[in-house]
Amino acid sequence: MSELRQDRLSGEWVIVAPERGARPRQLKEHGHDAATPAHDPNCPFCPGSEAMLTEILAESPTQTPPGWLTRILPNRFPALSPDAPAESRTEGIYGAAGGRGLHQVIVESPRHDTDLPFMNDESITAVVAAWQRVHGEMIAAPGVEAVFLFRNRGLKAGASLRHPHSQAIATHFVPPRLAAREARARTLYNETGRCPLCEILEFELGEGSRVFLESEHFAAMVPFAATCPFEFLIVPRRHAACFSAVTKEEAAELGEVLRETLRRLYDVAGDPPYNLALETASRGEANSPCQHWHLRIAPDITTPNGFDLAAGMPVNPRLPEADTEALRTATTKRN
Amino acid sequence: MSELRQDRLSGEWVIVAPERGARPRQLKEHGHDAATPAHDPNCPFCPGSEAMLTEILAESPTQTPPGWLTRILPNRFPALSPDAPAESRTEGIYGAAGGRGLHQVIVESPRHDTDLPFMNDESITAVVAAWQRVHGEMIAAPGVEAVFLFRNRGLKAGASLRHPHSQAIATHFVPPRLAAREARARTLYNETGRCPLCEILEFELGEGSRVFLESEHFAAMVPFAATCPFEFLIVPRRHAACFSAVTKEEAAELGEVLRETLRRLYDVAGDPPYNLALETASRGEANSPCQHWHLRIAPDITTPNGFDLAAGMPVNPRLPEADTEALRTATTKRN
């Protein structure tokens, strides 16, 4: 029997329908490509391919010397650009505006064939440090109202290149989903006097059936109203609205937790494609008592359908508590 | 240079970034499977497989005799079911409710290897008639507040079976996206005194750059703020909030327009996977002056990404006007 569940952070509703898991071919096919070379001479992100990137390196203030662990580059095919007009206008009966903003790429390793679950301590720490640097520079840039750091892993999740990388987009406005989430957090805060995610974390740590990993500074949990199989959050225990507040010690631990949870996802779900998003406060809410940054990992295992298109309600064919159990016990299979 | 566009019906914003079309491997791969048999003995929707469906046929009030053109069946893996409790409840700090509703499948042809663009007049008319019947029965069922008729074409768009079919889900509440769209239409109506889609249609027929097909009763157009490449709407010229208002003459023409537009999509975009949704008024708005039913076709050509996940803003790598031009001229290539 299916049920409806409301996400407390977004206010959005999801249909949890585990019976649908019995359908033939319900999960996308995926698999690890063992034949990937450590370096691909045609990959623009590999060391030795710097010549391909001359143009964008020339305009980049963030060149990285030889021996690099991570590189930060302007996106060559930007969704938003700093020289677009920012003004909104009308086009007949429609609203429109220039696509002003920033779009950068973080190359996460010199190696073409690795990925976050398989990095050593130095490399994974460098990735989190690069995220902190990009986020910090972008949120401080003139006119920027919000920063989105994200990662599309696997061609099926929108990645156009195999080489491990993430992206960051800065907008000159607060986009609708972030605005809605922040407004909802303020409403809940006014009702309860508490940060909603602090409250969720306390509830889930006590309840236990959706938390699958705890460390000193973080907890990893499947949302009560997960929108897709194996969706999970990495939540800092310490309240902070903005990712900029992360300390050096927390950053190091975040790398470890990220690597471990993504490794479990890899083991349990068979290297699925996924989208990862840093959900952090907009500039105006950076010190808010009711916003609370976190990472969201949403495996792109099932596909959107016409019902979600019209109704705006995802159908999750897996029970969030069953996913939690699988992610909790994954590590014992490995050790 | 990219730009931001607001959809007048949904109020949602989209980033239109045609430069991103230059990215390598930006479009999903797809292709027509010429080796598909006319009948597949393992397909539960093919004639002769009725034995596989004994159980659900037994509970179905809508059996179809031999020689059928379309069949209506309960979905074997329902997202919502009529015997679930409808009451909402709290689970700790969370909202939840039983998954009550209806979920049916419309088998659109006895042939396994056909699809809407290739049907003859009798068959395509039968499909629209089946949609009318299912929608009409569902919206009249006790407790039903909204009906969603949809079609997931291609495995990548969520279809689990190749045999041509669509689905319908009836809910005992108005889901969030429909509620938001209806609320927005009321707001615009109060501002302008006009049905928003009547106004859009008039504007677009005058403006011309996003309409690619006109018939006596319908027009097919790409939305100003299309969320993905080749998204389009089929809009009835006559104002009607609810799909139930469609006349026999309009239904026949709708079949023709649907077949022709999907055939053009097939030709232009290479048989892409897509989601089709009937967007029609909720029960309480069935006679509204500001709602206006239509069909939406959203090709699942690109994939969701981490930015859309966090920001709620799709990035469309194609210019809607370029897509319109391609869909407008497609027919001349064929004739």
Query: Which residue out of A100, A303, A315, A318 would a mutagenesis test of the B interface target, given it has the greatest number of B Cβ atoms within 10 Å?
Result: A303
Contact yes or no for B310/A9 (Cβ under 8 A): no
Q: Is the pLDDT of residue B131 over 70?
A: yes
- Inside any domain, residue A157: yes
Nearest-neighbour CA in chain B from A121: distance (Å): 25
- Collect all residues of chain B within an 8 Å Cβ-Cβ radius of residue A275: 304-306, 309
User: What is the H or E stretch that residue B90 is in?
Assistant: strand B88-91
Banded pLDDT at B120 (limits 50, 70, 90): very high
Q: Among A106, A14, A299, which residue's Cα sits nearest to residue B80?
A: A14
The verdict on residue B16 lying in a domain is no
Measured between alpha carbons, how far is B136 from A204 in angstroms, rounded to an integer? 43
Residues of A in contact with B98 (CB under 8 A): 1, 3-4
C-alpha dihedral sign at B210, B213, B219, B221: negative
A contacts of B200 (beta carbons < 8 Å): 93
Note whether residue B25 is domain-resident.
no
Q: d(Cα B116, Cα A137) in Å, to the nearest integer? A: 51
CA–CA gap between residue A276 and residue A296 (Å, rounded): 6
Inter-CA distances, B85 with A64, A227, B82, B88, Å: 59, 21, 8, 8
Dump pLDDT digits (tens) for B198-234: 999 999 999 999 999 999 999 999 999 998 899 999 9
- Token couple for A235: 């939540």
Mean pLDDT over each residue of chain B, to the nearest integer = 86
Decide if B158 and A296 are in contact by the 8 Å CB cutoff.
Answer: no
Show the tokens assigned to A236. 């800092």
- Interchain CB distance below 8 Å, B300 and A300: no
Strand order in the sheet with A274-279: A71-74, A101-107, A165-171, A146-153, A274-279, A294-299, A232-236, A218-221, A211-214
Least confident of A172-181, B84-93, B317-326: B84-93
Per the structure, the complete domain to which residue A180 belongs is given by: 40-75+100-334
Q: Would you state the pLDDT for residue B35? A: 67
Residue B88: what pLDDT?
A: 82
User: Do the domain assignments include residue B31?
Assistant: no
Min Cα separation A8/chain B (Å) = 6
CA distance A216 to B281: 51
Indicate the pLDDT class of residue B274, thresholds 50, 70 and 90.
Answer: very high
Structure confidence at residue B255 (pLDDT) = 98
Question: Quick check: helix, strand or coil at residue A1?
Answer: coil
Which residues, other chains included, contact A276 with Cβ-Cβ below 8 Å and sequence gap of 6+? A150, A151, A153, A166, A295, A296, A297, A298, B306
The verdict on residue A150 lying in a domain is yes
Rounded CA-CA distance A335/B2 in Å is 49
* Model pLDDT, residue A270: 86
Q: Is residue A217 part of a domain?
A: yes
Tokens of B290: 């500001």
DSSP A31-66: ---TT--S--TT-TTSTT-GGGGHHHHHT-S----T
Give mean pLDDT, residues B114-122.
94
Interface pTM, i.e. ipTM: 0.87
Report d(CA B283, CA B291) in Å as an integer. 11
Q: Look up the pTM and report it.
A: 0.90
Q: What is the pLDDT of residues A165-207, one digit of tens each?
A: 999 999 999 998 899 999 999 999 999 999 999 999 999 999 9
**Residue B1 is assigned to a structural domain of this protein:** no
> What residues are paired with B96 via a beta bridge?
A5, B89
Smallest Cα–Cα separation from B93: which of A239, A6, A3, A230?
A6
Pick from B209, B307, B308, B316 the residue to mutate for testing the A interface (most A CBs within 10 Å).
B307
The 10s digit of each residue's pLDDT in A34-76 is: 567 888 888 888 887 766 665 455 445 555 667 789 999 988 8
Q: How many domains does chain A have?
A: 1
User: Is residue A2 assigned to a domain?
Assistant: no
Q: Percent of chain B at pLDDT above 70?
A: 85
- Token couple for B225: 């703020």
The CATH number covering residue A109 comes to 3.30.428.10
Q: Mapping DSSP to helix (H, G, I), strand (E, B) and coil, where does residue B17 land?
A: coil
Which residues in chain B have Cβ-Cβ distances shorter than 8 Å to A148? 306-307, 310-311
C-alpha to C-alpha distance for B45 and B22, rounded to whole angstroms? 41
> Which among A98, A177, A305 has CB closest to B310?
A177
Query: Using one digit for the tens of pLDDT, what is the confidence trace for B162-206?
Result: 899 999 999 999 998 899 999 999 999 999 999 999 999 999 999
The residue assigned the tokens 């370096």 is: A39
Q: Answer for the pair A7, A225: CB distance below 8 angstroms, yes or no.
A: yes
- The answer to whether residues A18 and A25 touch, using CB atoms and an 8 Å cutoff, is no
Q: How far is A335 from chain B (nearest CA, A)?
A: 31
Residue A7: what pLDDT? 78
B81/A175 Cβ within 8 A: no
Q: DSSP label at B28? A: P
HSE-up of residue A212 (Cα within 13 Å, Cβ side): 31
Cβ contact A114:A33 at 8 Å: no
Which of B151, B310, B313 is opposite residue A150, by nearest beta carbon? Answer: B310
